[in-house]
Amino acid sequence: MRDRLGRKIDYLRVSVTDRCNLRCLYCLPPQGVRPKTHEEILRYEEIVRLVEVAVSLGIRRVRLTGGEPLVRLGLTRLVAALAAIPGLHDLSLTTNGTLLAPLAEELKRAGLRRVNISLDTLRPERFRAVTRGGTLADAWAGIEAALAAGLHPVKINTVAMAGVNDDELADLAELTRRFPLHVRFIEVMPLGADLDWAGAHVLPMAAVRAAVEKVGRLEPAQVAGAGPARAWRFPGAPGTVGFIGALSETFCARCNRLRLTADGKLKPCLASDVEVDVRGLLRRGAGNQELEGAFRQALELKPSHHDLASYPGHARVMCQIGG
């Protein structure tokens, strides 16, 4: 699939739930947001049907996300059904890792290829504060289980925040010297519940990189499914480091994705409130042609670039979009 600007779109992010077991400062308000009802959320069968249509149109990679995807019961069943779709080459998962340890093996056996695990700090107290109640040991157990299960490559998503974790960015990067982990630093985006909070804690990627380079020279590296992040490594390290500056260095010209929200809307762009409803179509008994039409419409609506820096606020927070 190509959009009207000629960008090749072969990647679909599928949110399986808007619920999360954590309440990260940059994402959710302390009380969370009103969860969608069971009826509003796409059933697994509906997700599979939509992904089949997407693959018939040229989608080759799917990432499951949320909310926290592992809070949804029976996720392994969805993974197995998606992995069986001919033409889908890559199936991955974004998770906070805290529920992953007991599930990593079975997810891998079901056909999951790889995981991105969010980790913003290596300090238990700080982890509890940033996630409003999470336990670092649970997330770390998830990371170890992912490595042991061969969910390769294991990427770590670290939101870099001024005044929150800017004093341990080098420590997080140094994980890549000890483990085959791919640590990607991400600029905090004004997509959470509290836009002022995000604005006050933005840390430009140039500053992140400078902090990391204090502990060693970085050389260019390759990593599978690198997405928008170019990869770097400390010489001889088993893992890599990446820098994703969604605000300071937009990569919209290379954007290759669409998103499907847990309540069945196609989103052409993370940072825009434009949506195309597919749940309604599905539940009215739409045929494949109509569903294909909805994907094409989403492509038509895909903006040339995001306007994150000047956008006044969004209808959904990350947890409801699918990060």
Joined together, the tokens standing for residue 267 give: 């989103």
Least distance (Å) between residue 14 CB and ligand SAM = 12
Least distance (Å) between residue 191 CB and ligand SAM = 4
Q: Which is nearer to ligand SAM, 130 or 299 (CB)?
A: 130
Least distance (Å) between residue 157 CB and ligand SAM = 4
Exactly one of 17, 92, 95, 121 binds ligand SAM (CB under 6 A); that residue is 95
What string of H, E and C letters represents the secondary structure of the chain? CECCCCCECCEEEEECCCCCCCCCCCCCCCCCCCCCCCCCCCCHHHHHHHHHHHHHHCCCEEEEECCCHHHCCCHHHHHHHHHCCCCCCEEEEEECCCCCCCCHHHHHHHCCCEEEEECCCCCHHHHHHHCCCCCHHHHHHHHHHHHHHCCCCEEEEEEEECCCCCCCHHHHHHHHHHCCEEEEEEECCCCCCCHHHHHHHECCHHHHHHHHHCCCCCEEECCCCCCCCCEEECCCCCCEEEEECCCCCCCHHHCCEEEECCCCEEECCCCCCCCEECHHHHHCCCCHHHHHHHHHHHHHCCCCCCCHHHCCCCCCCHHHHCC
Least distance (Å) between residue 169 CB and ligand SAM = 15
Q: Which is nearer to ligand SAM, 216 or 242 (CB)?
A: 242
Exactly one of 26, 127, 243, 295 binds ligand SAM (CB under 6 A); that residue is 26
Residue 98 near ligand SAM by CB under 6 A = no
Residue 229 near ligand SAM by CB under 6 A = no
CA distance 308 to 116: 23
Least distance (Å) between residue 119 CB and ligand SAM = 9
User: Which residue's C-beta sits nearest to ligand SAM?
Assistant: 323
Contacts with ligand SAM: how many residues (CB under 6 A)? Answer: 21
Q: Please, which of residues 53-72 interact with ligand SAM by CB under 6 A?
A: 65-66, 68
Residue 256 near ligand SAM by CB under 6 A = no
Mask for 169-208, x = binds ligand SAM (CB under 6 A): -----------------x-xx-xx-----x----------
Q: Please, which of residues 108-167 interact with ligand SAM by CB under 6 A?
A: 118, 157, 159
Region of 94-102, 225-233, 298-306, 307-315 interacting with ligand SAM (CB under 6 A): 94-102
Largest CA distance in the chain: 58
CA distance 299 to 312: 24
Q: Which is nearer to ligand SAM, 90 or 290 (CB)?
A: 90
Q: 319: which residues sit within 8 A by CB, 6+ positions away?
A: 18, 20, 27, 28, 33, 66, 67
Q: Which is nearer to ligand SAM, 65 or 256 (CB)?
A: 65
Residue 319 near ligand SAM by CB under 6 A = yes
Least distance (Å) between residue 309 CB and ligand SAM = 13
Please give the residue ranges that form the binding site for ligand SAM (CB under 6 A): 20, 26-27, 65-66, 68, 94-96, 118, 157, 159, 186, 188-189, 191-192, 198, 318-319, 323
